[in-house]
């Protein structure tokens, strides 16, 4: 008899017992695609047994509707009309679960992958339909029971809940690999425990960098530098760190300049001034001894003015080096806005309208007006492309290779047409040049 005793996520059971129970669970569900059971019954029974395996509570209907099967939601259409819907399984603040039973499709085939993509889109629509007061769960789970489970994550939980889940939290769990999963780690990954809501690396990196910069800014002001000069100098430093990490500057070049011995405290200010003036013009940089791109705008203008590049002591340079060693691909752009606001005198800030706008406020405008329409167009493009690819496969199966190739070429053209549209999209930045509304 198969052991179905629930295993707690914090269980002290041996690794052998954990693996044994997981293996029994896998074996029990491996042939589910061959059964005639409905998608609904298969999905709910699977989730219940998975909860038992992970040692967490099962979904249960309740007045709050915060953890249950067939959670009702209301879709609001663009014309103001509404229609009802139901989420296969929902846990508030944790996940939206969408199950499929694709028994007629070969795992790994284009039609199978297309069906999973459609299920992912369906799960996203459920997440967007949730009331703002509920917040947005960090995980979408798309499951073809007995074959694969895909996890998608979006951790910002911004309001309104319109942002899409595009980042896979892990690679898809293929069924044969399940015995290797620890129940506790699987529990966190699937969103039943608080660990699942841990923010991505970008939040951690941003906090660390912000702490270093706050310490550095305070130290520079205590050295006698004006607050607006400190903010402007650090903004140029920050942009340079970001530029080298995305390789707009030669990789590692700015960090190398900061670390270049000897007498760096005495010469660094002059070297940074030279680099930033070269970045403003573009061309050969004497500071880096190589070509640099031209960075237009006003950030690197007025290179001969006072306070353009400040003299730092050894301790302050070390703090700058520590910040430069961070992965600036993962740093939130909000840091730039914060420093920009600090750099401007109150009267000048008011004249420019350059009060820093928090990301959440910006997203309230930009997501529904710019991002969502583009995402919708991309979703339509994906659907049309997948249909053309499926038609191409059918024609290949019938031996009509020429027509199949024509359909495939049409699919490629559809994607290229969207790419052309995306590249030619222009967005008004209403922030009077301060950059706070740039996305």
| Cis upstream peptide for 262 (omega within 30°) | yes
pLDDT the model gives residue 336: 62
- DSSP one-letter code for 270: H
Q: Where does 139-256 show beta strands of DSSP type E?
A: 139-144, 148-153, 167-168, 173-174
What stretches in the chain show pLDDT beneath 50?
1-17, 158-172, 177-182, 195-199, 343-345, 348-354, 432-439
> What count of residues does the chain have?
439
pLDDT the model gives residue 249: 93
First and final C-alpha spacing in the chain:
58
pLDDT the model gives residue 282: 93
Do 157 and 123 form a contact (C-beta atoms < 8 A)?
A: no
Q: How far apart are CA 33 and CA 35, in angstroms?
A: 6
pLDDT the model gives residue 437: 45
Q: How far apart are CA 380 and CA 387, in angstroms?
A: 11
The domain spans of the chain are: 15-197, 201-356, 361-423
Nearest to 197 by CA among 207, 187, 183: 187
Phi-psi region of 386 (alpha: psi -120 to 50; beta: other; left: phi over 0): alpha
DSSP string spanning 358-372? PHHHHHHHHIIIIIH
The alpha carbon torsion through 215, 216, 222, 223 (nearest 10 deg) reads 160
Do 357 and 363 form a contact (C-beta atoms < 8 A)?
A: no
């Amino acid at each position: 008899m198969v052991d179905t005793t629930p295993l707690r996520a914090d269980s002290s059971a041996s690794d052998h017992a954990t693996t044994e129970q997981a293996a029994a669970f896998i074996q029990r569900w491996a042939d589910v695609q061959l059964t005639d059971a409905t998608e609904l019954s298969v999905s709910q029974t699977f989730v219940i047994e998975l909860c038992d395996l992970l040692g967490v509570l099962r979904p249960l209907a309740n007045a709050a509707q915060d953890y249950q099967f067939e959670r009702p939601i209301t879709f609001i259409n663009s014309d103001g009309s509404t229609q009802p819907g139901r989420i296969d399984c929902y846990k508030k603040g944790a996940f939206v679960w969408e199950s499929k039973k694709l028994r007629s499709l070969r795992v790994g085939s284009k039609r199978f992958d297309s069906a999973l993509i459609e299920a992912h889109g369906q799960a996203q629509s459920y997440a967007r339909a949730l009331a703002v007061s509920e917040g947005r769960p960090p995980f979408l789970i798309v499951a073809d029971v007995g074959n694969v489970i895909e996890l998608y994550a979006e951790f910002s939980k911004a309001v309104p809940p319109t942002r899409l889940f595009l980042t896979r939290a892990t690679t898809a769990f293929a069924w044969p690999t399940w015995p290797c999963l620890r129940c506790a780690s699987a529990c966190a990954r699937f969103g039943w425990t608080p660990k699942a809501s841990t923010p991505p690396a970008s939040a951690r990196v941003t906090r660390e960098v912000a702490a270093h910069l706050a310490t550095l800014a305070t130290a520079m002001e205590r050295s006698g530098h004006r607050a607006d000069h400190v903010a402007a100098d650090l903004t140029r430093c920050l942009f340079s760190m970001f530029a080298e990490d995305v390789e707009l500057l030669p990789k590692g070049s700015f960090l190398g300049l900061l670390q270049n011995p000897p007498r760096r405290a005495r010469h660094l200010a002059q070297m940074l001034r030279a680099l930033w003036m070269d970045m403003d013009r573009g061309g050969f940089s004497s500071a880096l001894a190589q070509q640099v791109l031209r960075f237009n705008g006003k950030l690197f203008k007025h290179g001969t003015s006072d306070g353009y590049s400040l003299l730092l002591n050894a301790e302050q340079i070390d703090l700058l080096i520590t910040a430069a060693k961070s992965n600036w691909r993962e740093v939130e752009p909000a840091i730039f806005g914060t420093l920009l606001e600090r750099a401007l005198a109150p009267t000048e800030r008011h004249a420019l309208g350059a009060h820093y706008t928090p990301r959440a406020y910006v997203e309230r405008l930009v997501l529904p007006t710019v991002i969502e329409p583009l995402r919708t167009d991309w979703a339509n493009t994906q659907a049309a492309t997948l249909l053309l690819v499926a038609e191409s496969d059918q024609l290949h199966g019938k031996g009509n290779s020429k027509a199949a190739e024509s359909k495939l070429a049409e699919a490629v053209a559809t994607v290229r047409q969207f790419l052309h549209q995306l590249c030619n999209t222009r967005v008004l930045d209403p922030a009077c040049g301060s950059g706070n509304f740039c996305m």
